[in-house]
Every structure is written in structure tokens, then in C-alpha cells.
Amino acid sequence: MQQRQLGPFTVSAIGLGCMNICHAYGAPVSAQQAERVLLAALDAGVTHFDTAALYGFGASETLVGQVLSAHRSRFTLASKCGMGGVDVNGDGKLVRVIDGRPETLRATCEAALKRLRTDVIDLYYLHRWDKKVPIEDSVGALSDLVRAGKIQTIGLSEVSATTLRKAHAVHPITALQTEYSLWTRNPEIAVLDACRELGVAFVAFSPVARGFLCGPLDINAFDAKDIRRAMPRFAPDNYARNLALLPPYLAIAQELGCSPAQLAIAWLLHKAPHILPIPGTANVEHLRDDLGADGVQLSTEVMARLEALINESTVAGNRYTAQANSEVDTEVF
């Protein structure tokens, strides 16, 4: 697989997002199935694994630690803090909370190191900017963790170019992570250029548009806990309109002899050399299909056709609800 730079780390151009193995798209798979996916990725040459304290409220970090700690020298480990589960009511039920206070970030890091079974996290992201805390304070706390040897580098997730510049002035930012795919083009407003200017890697999550770019989905069959049930683009009216984009998109994939998922990921790889997609899956076959994007070549003519077909003007519905939009700092069209 081709290699790309993630700050000081040379990693596989396609990484693995480790949310799906325990969180977000329905009932979690078994620990055995998660292990199969993680080890298959490692064996296939993936050297960039991305997890977070939020995913399964620690379950993803725990699985990554259990399965991959024995192979720690073979990959770059990324995780995230600043958003996780808290027992707010004292009833044992964890509630998702955004908390960027320095003391919280320090405590989250200590817990993550234990779950991940490692002495140091290579890349540690602020998962969400807690708007009640100056970004300089949160990044300052993370820089303290760098000096303490707990983490090697710092990342930010779902922030604007302005916030990135403020943070970068406090401590060099290695990577910025945001949703990016043909149907979510917000990074093109300002963040992609800011990353290029500052020498920051751009890590693209949900590169296959939360499954949309893999082919038609039965939205009525989504699990009750599937986060797409609350996403406007998957609401019946919007989804019906978005489905009209798929036949010409699938035709391009067929024309090129690749799968729809490979086409979506290859588009990102061709956009810029500082972009690193991290598709997520709990299925080994899907994993191998995703990684096959590494060998797909796209001409400038095909790139233009794809971008004209699926973009911010042709996709129906916002990517997030109003509540979720209020929690991120990304630019919007």
C-alpha cells in the first residue's frame, strides 16, 4: 500500500477507523469479530489505527488494546479525548458529554493508556472543541501531555481553519480530522487549504458517506441504535432524492472496474497528498474491499465527473442535526 505522512509518522495511505467495531451503526459485533477485523487490517498493511474514548464509552480502546498491544511497534496509534461518557445522574448510565477542561483531558488520557495497554499514544486528538473552554487552554493541556511523554503529537477534530490556527500557535498540530467525502465537501471551504499551508495532515472520516456510496441502503432496516436514523440525509424524503445520485455513480465504478467504496476512497486519495482516509468497518470483506482503493487510478476527467455529480448542491439534507451542528466548529456552505 502507498504510504503518506501523518506528521512525523509514515503510515499506510488508508487507515482504519475503529468506531464501527463497537459503536454507532447498530448492535456491536462480538469481540471475536472485532479481533478478526483488527488483525486482518494489520496483516493487510494498515499501519494507522484510529479510536477514541467515546466509541462504546471505552470499548473500542479496550478492544484495540487487547488485540493490537502485542503488535504495538507495527502501527501508529491515534485516539481522542474531550468527548466521552459520564455518569451524570449517578445511576450508572453514561451520558455523552463534551468536556475540554485540562483536568478532564489529563484524566481521560490516563484511562486511555490503560485501556490501550500502551505507554504512549502517538496521536491524541481533541475530539470536539468544548466551546466553554478556550481552545488554547485545551491544547495547552495536551502539550503538557506531550512534555510528560504520555502522547507524542496533538490532533483536532471537527474544527474550523480559524480554530486550527489558534491551536497551532500554542503547539504544533499534527492532524485535523473531519468528515470528508463526495457528499460532505465542507473541508473544501477553508480547512484543507489551512492544513496544507501549516503542514497538518488531514484525516478524512466517513469517506464512503456512512455507507451511502457503497450502494442503496434499506433505511427502514437500520438498527434502533444506528446513528444514521437521526441524520437528515437519511430521512425518507431526503434519502429518496439522494438515491437518484447513485445510478450514475455506480455506473462510473463499473466503468472503471472497481467497487463503489473503492471509488469513493480513491477520490479522496487523488484530491491531495496530505489527505488520509480512515474508513471503518466491522466486516473483513468490506475491509479488504476498502483497502483495494489503493490501486484505483482516476483521471482528471473522472474526478470532474464525480465532483459534478455529488456535491453540496446536489445532496439533499444536512450532514448533522441542529444539535450536532452546534457541537462542531466546521465551516458550512
Contact 145, 109 (CB under 8 A): yes
| Domain CATH code at residue 157 | 3.20.20.100
Q: Determine which helix (DSSP H) or strand (DSSP E) holds 202, and give its type and residue range.
A: strand 201-205
Q: Is residue 130 part of a domain?
A: yes
Residue 290 lies in a domain: yes
Residue 280 and residue 278: Cα distance in Å, rounded?
6
Q: Is residue 332 part of a domain?
A: no
**Contacts by 190-195 with C-beta closer than 8 Å and gap 24+?**
190/160, 190/161, 190/331, 191/159, 191/160, 191/161, 191/164, 191/330, 191/331, 192/271, 192/272, 192/275, 193/161, 194/161, 194/164, 194/165, 195/164, 195/274
The answer to whether 165 and 194 are in contact (CB under 8 A) is yes
User: Does 217 score more than 90 pLDDT?
Assistant: yes
Beta bridge partners of 154: 124, 173
C-alpha cell at 218: 434499506
Question: 215 lies in which domain range?
Answer: 3-327
Q: Is this structure's pTM higher than 0.95?
A: yes
Q: Which of 86, 89, 85, 87 is nearest to 61 (CA)?
A: 85
For residue 180, the model assigns a pLDDT of 98
Decide if 87 is inside a domain. yes
Residues assigned a catalytic role: 55
Please say whether the dihedral angle defined by the alpha carbons of residues 73, 291, 214 and 248, taken in this order, is positive or negative: positive
Number of domains in the chain: 1
In a domain, 230, yes or no: yes
How far is CA 265 from its chain centroid? 13
The three grid cell numbers given for residue 185, joined into one nine-digit string: 465537501
pLDDT bin (cut points 50, 70, 90) of residue 237 is very high
Which residue from 211, 174, 176, 183 is spatially nearest to 267, judged by alpha carbons? 183
Q: 102-116 and 135-147 are packed helices; what angle lies between their axes, rounded to 10 degrees?
A: 40
**Cα gap 170→174, rounded to integer Å:** 13
Does the pLDDT of residue 93 top 90, yes or no? Answer: no
User: pLDDT class for 92, splitting at 50, 70, 90?
Assistant: confident
Q: Is residue 226, in this structure, part of any structural domain at all?
A: yes
pLDDT of 69-80, one tens digit each? 999 999 999 999
Q: Would 261 be classed as within a structural domain?
A: yes
- pLDDT tens-digit readout, 271-287: 999 999 999 999 999 99
